[in-house]
Chain A
Amino acid sequence: MSPLQFAWRSLSRQPARAVLGLTGVAVVGALLFDMLMLSRGLIVSFRDLLESTGFDVRVTATEALPGMGPSVSEAAATVEALRRLPELAAVVPVRFGVAAVEALGKKTEEVAIIGSETRRRGEWRLVQGADLAEDSGAGRPDMVVNRTFARDQGLGPGSIVRLASTLTPREFRVSGIVEFPFEASGERMAGVTLNGFTRAFPAARRDEADLLLVASPPGMGTETAVSAIRRARPDLHAFSIDEVLERLRQAEFSYFRQVSFVLATIASFFALLLVTTLLTVSVNQRLGEVAALRALGFSRRRITLDLLAESALLVGGGGIVAVPLGLLLAHGLDSILRQMPDLPSRLHFFVFEPRALAIHLAFLVLAALVAAAYPVILAARLPIAATLRKESIS
C-alpha cells in the first residue's frame, strides 16, 4: 500500500475532517487564485487593449502618459519626418476633443470625438456601414459613431449629426457604426478625419496632435522603432506598450497589486493553519498507532511520506476545486468592479493567465509541504517506547 493509498484511507476514515480540510483549502485557494489574477489583471487587460489598436508605440510631447499632457505641435511636419524613418511602418496622428450634441428635449449631451486619418489600423473597429472617406472639403464630413451614441441619437449610416453650436452649423454624415477599444460603457464616442476634427472644433489650434500612434514594421521590433524616434526627435517622447504599462504598474495599478498581495498572504496563512491543525490533531489522535507502526519497523521516512501524502491530498484536492471556484468568484467580482464609471468596458480586473495557474500550483505544493512540517516532526520524533507505555495500563 503506497503512502498515497494509505493517506486516502486515513482521510476517508474521518470524512468530516477531510471535507473540512478540502472545503477550507478550496475556499482559501479560490481567494488566492483570484488575488493572483487580480494582481496582474489590469495590466494584462490593458495590454490587450493597447495591442488591439495595432500600434505598438505612442509618441507624445512630454513625459505625461498619452492623453494626459500637452499636444504635439507642428503635427503634419512631425508626422512626415517620422514617416521617413525606415524603422517605422506607420505613423498616425490622433486628436481628442469633447463636443456637445443636441438631445431630445433641447438638452445637450457630451460626445467624445477622436480625430484621425483614414489609413488607420485599429483606433476603432467597424461594426456596421462604411468607414470614413477622405474629406473632399465640400458638404458634410463623414463621422463614425459608437453604438451608445447611435442608440441615444437614433443614428445609422446616412444619418446627420449636428454638433451643438451657436456659430455655423457643424454637421456630419454618419458613415458607419464602430467600436472603440477604450470606450466606457454608456460613453458616447465618434470618430472623424483630421479635417473633420478641425470642422468640429474650429477654435482648436490647427496642426496639433494629442498623440501619434506608431507601428513598427513586422519583425523589426518595438525597441528599434522607439530608439529610432528618440534619436530622430529627442524633443518628443516615445512609449512602447511595455513602458506605458510599467508607468501604470508603478502608479495607478500598484494599488491592486498591494491589496492582492496582502489578501493573498492572509489567505495563505489561514489555509496553512487549517491544514496543519487538521493534520496535527489527527496525528495526536493516532500517536499509539504511529508508535506501534514504528515499533513494527516502519521507518521515519515512511511515516513522513504518509503524512506528506495526506497533506498533498487535502491541499491538492482543495486546490483543484479552488480553480473553478476562483474563476467563478473572479467573474462575479470582476463584474462588480467593472461597474465603476468611465472605465473602458473591455478592461478587466481579473484576468486568467497560465502564469497565475502555475503560481497557484507551485504554491499548493509549497503549502502541502509547509502544512505537513509540524505534524511530520511530531510523528517522526515520537519516542516509541514512552508513547506505547503511556497508551497502556500496566
Chain B
Amino acid sequence: MSDVLAITDHRRGELRDVSYEIITAGRDLADETGGDLHLAVISGTVDEFAEKLDREGVDAIHTVDYGEEFNHGVYTQTITQLYDELAPQYVLAPNSVNGLDYAPAVANELDLPIVTDAVGLETDGDTLGVTREMFGGKVETATELEGDAVVTIRSAEWPAAEGTGDATIEAFDVEIDEDALGSTVTGFEEVGGGDVDISEADVLVSVGRGIEEEDNIPIIEELADALDATISSSRPIVDNGWLPKNRQVGQSGKVVTPDVYIAIGISGAVQHVAGMKGSDTIVAINTDPNAPIMDIADYAIHDDLFDVIPALTEEFQ
C-alpha cells in the first residue's frame, strides 16, 4: 500500500516528454512512502516504449499491448485493473489533454479523490501535499488529502528521469470489455498550417486579450511592420477569429523560441507559457504588475499597451 503507479503518455508512435518527467515525480513520492515505482505503458508499440522508459528509479513496467492509439475506455479499464492488482497508494497521470480524458474517470471508478495539474508533491506516507495554481496562475495553493489518491501532474515541472534502469518489464494481462468502449478514434488532423511559421521568427510581437477589440489589431500590425517582426498571439485572439490559427502560441498552438518575444496584453496562463518560455528574451507589456507573465519576463512595462505600443512604433519610424 505504499507503491506509486505512474501512467505514461504517447501519441502517434512517440513517447511524450511528460512520460520521463512523471518517472521523476513518481520516484520522489515512492522514496517518501518507501514503496516501488510502477509504470504503465498502454497501447502502441509498448515493448519499444518500455525499453526507453527503463530509466533510473523505475522498479517495474507493465505493458498493455492493446490497440495503437489512445482510447480512454481502454486506459480506464486497464488502470483500474492494475490498481486492483498492485494496490498502489498513488496513481499519477499526466495533466495532458488525454490525461484529463481518463484520470477523472479512473478516480471516480475507484472512488478515490483526484487532484489535477499538480506543480509540486510531497507526502509523509499518510498525508499527500499538492501544490497547484488558481486564478490562471495569479496565486499558488497548498492542498492536502489523506489516503490513496489520483493526481495529474503538469508537464515541464519535474526534470526528465535519466540513466538506465533495471526495471522488470512485464506484459499485464488485461481484460478489456469491448462492449463498454463507447468511443472510437477515427483519425487525426494537423491544424494551424499555412503561409506563416511563427516558430521561425527572430522577433515575435505577440498580442493578447488586452487588445480588447479586433479594430485595435492594426496598432500591433504597425509595430510589427516598423520592427520587421512577425505577429503572434494568445489563444483568445484566435478563438475570436481576429488572427488565424497559425499565429497561436501555446500548448495547443505553436512552441516558439525567438530571440525576443514581446507579450502585449497577455496574462501568461500556463498553456500560453508552455509555448514561449524558451524565448531568449521576454518582454511583457501589461497593466497588471501581478500578471503571471511577470514571473518569466526579463523586462517589463507595467503600463497601458494603448500608450506604450504607439510610442514604441514611433521610435522606429
Partners in one complex: no
